Amino acid sequence: MKGYNCPGLTAVSFSEEKSDFVISGEDRELFGKGFRAVIYAAFIIATQVLPSNRPYSIGVPVIDSPLFTHKKPDYTDDDIIPVDLARDFYRYVGRSQIGLTIIIENVVPPY
């Protein structure tokens, strides 16, 4: 998740046992739903960036609401996406060399 302003990020790895990401030594499932969505969106973007200098691609990524957390009665501070992280996410996608990316979002992106 380089290029994102993800608070407290020290390392990202993949757990074969859980078939999920480990972020800064913690399982992805322990993060709020907002952070889980951003982590997954970062993975989708990374799968486009890796083969970008090759003669093939995976296709056009379509990401639905990566930064919008649905506000429900159980909404907690862990679910809030910092504005810096949201802004950096869009900047990273805009500057990447992956070509077309479709992002469907329910809120206006931060400037």
Give domain limits for the chain: 12-104
Instruction: Outline where the chain has alpha helix (H).
Output: 33-49, 83-95
With vertex at residue 31, the alpha carbon angle to CA 103 and CA 78, rounded to the nearest 5 degrees, is 85
25-60 confidence digits (pLDDT tens): 888 888 877 778 888 888 888 888 777 777 877 778
Residues 6+ apart with CB under 8 A from 99: 48, 52, 57, 60
Counting residues of the chain whose pLDDT is more than 70, the rounded percentage is: 79
Which of 1-10, 63-72, 89-98 has the highest average model confidence (pLDDT)?
89-98
